[in-house]
Amino acid sequence: MEAENKEPGFAICINNDGYADELKVRTVYQILPDESAARSDYLRVVDETGEDYLYPASYFIIVDVPAEAAEALLLAA
């Protein structure tokens, strides 16, 4: 994700070691911009609890989704 991007993005979880209650593998999660976290190789993710927490960036693959899909994902959250 670009540092100047202030819009939420999305990522697919590919690993949930140590976070099985909070993250589900193969699930799309909303990610929030957090430059400080990114510098430490973390992502700010809205997890299964509905709250945003920091998780290792290596646990996710960031995906580009069309605007219509992003809108639908945000409404479903």
- What is the average per-residue pLDDT within 11-26? 97
Q: What is the pLDDT of residues 21-54, one digit of tens each?
A: 999 999 999 999 999 999 999 999 999 999 999 9
Q: In the structure, what pLDDT confidence band is assigned to residue 1 with cuts at 50, 70 and 90?
A: very low
Q: Specify the CATH number of the domain 10-76.
A: 2.30.30
Higher-confidence residue of 6 and 32: namely 32
**What pLDDT was estimated at residue 6?**
59
How crowded is residue 33: how many other Cβ atoms within 10 Å of its Cβ? 17
- The residue extents of the domains of the chain are 10-76
Q: Identify the helix (H) or strand (E) that includes residue 32.
A: strand 28-32
Strands 52-56 and 28-32: unpaired
